[in-house]
Amino acid sequence: MIASILTDIEGTTSSISFVKDVLFPYARARLPAFVATHADEPEVRHWLREAAKEAGFASVTQQEIVDRLIAWIDEDRKSTALKALQGMIWKDGYTGGEYRAHVYPEVPARLHAWKTQGKRLYVYSSGSVPAQKLLFGHTDAGDLTPLFSGYFDTEVGGKRDAQSYRRIATVIGDAPDTILFLSDIVQELDAARDAGFKTTLLARVPAQCPAAGMHPCVADFDAIETDV
């Protein structure tokens, strides 16, 4: 029996296009001004230093690190430092009402149903934990954050690394085989399965389900089997 459900965001609870076509351009356009006006704040300064280390810079100007961060946005680099800075910028857009986060229409009701059944819900995304909370706190279906018991980002490890899921299981406090991980990325599901998790692949276009896949494959949350 599944005790906890761990879900990805992009392509799983929410459309890829919302992230690619709304959030990324918003952060990209505002990154230079954000760094210029907030670089002296301790949290921003910390993540700028982390980005410089990740880029291999021994010394770097503010413009050089901004240029590198923009390049990372363009290539969708899974950088913890970049994701943290993006989350800070996205906060202004959410709180200013410039956009609402997309979630697929069946997702809120299914999350509520699982919560009512006593299952604990968690998020694991390459986006920072603050960005995850902002997204679920400002969805077009309202504030969904009360449904979740915790959030994980790449500070726990990469999403294609089985050890990341072992760490998550330890934090959650459930046996791995009682945790169900949901994602649209097979390699992430492979890593979770290697850590002992149950898994389900989300393929929003049903024809995209692999013919002989290693993971149960469904088109939406209503088709997810949790009593396994």
What pLDDT is stored for residue 228 in this prediction? Answer: 62
> Given 64, 95, 126, which residue is the final one in a domain?
95
Residue with tokens 């430092």: 81
> Given 41, 60, 95, which residue is the final one in a domain?
95
Based on the fold, state whether residues 124 and 175 are members of the same structural domain. yes
Residue 146 forms part of a structural domain: yes
Q: Which of 77-81, 118-122, 210-214 has the lowest mean pLDDT?
A: 210-214
Based on the fold, state whether residues 209 and 120 are members of the same structural domain. yes
For all residues of the chain together, what is the average pLDDT?
A: 95
What pLDDT is stored for residue 211 in this prediction? Answer: 80
Query: In whole angstroms, what is the distance from residue 125 CA to residue 183 CA?
Result: 10
Query: In whole angstroms, what is the distance from residue 121 CA to residue 18 CA?
Result: 22
pLDDT (tens digit, 9 = 90+) per residue, 73-99? Answer: 999 998 999 999 999 999 999 999 999
* Contact yes or no for 2/180 (Cβ under 8 A): yes
Based on the fold, state whether residues 203 and 181 are members of the same structural domain. yes
* Contact yes or no for 173/191 (Cβ under 8 A): no
Residue 79 forms part of a structural domain: yes
Displacement of CA 93 from its chain's centroid (Å): 18
Residue 122 bridge partners (DSSP): 6, 150
Residue 228 forms part of a structural domain: no
Based on the fold, state whether residues 107 and 215 are members of the same structural domain. yes
Structural domain of residue 119, as residue ranges? 4-15+101-223
3-class DSSP assignment, residue 118: coil
Inform me whether the pLDDT recorded for 212 exceeds 70: yes
**Structure tokens given for 161:** 């690394």
Question: pLDDT over 70 for what percent of the chain?
Answer: 99
Based on the fold, state whether residues 55 and 135 are members of the same structural domain. no
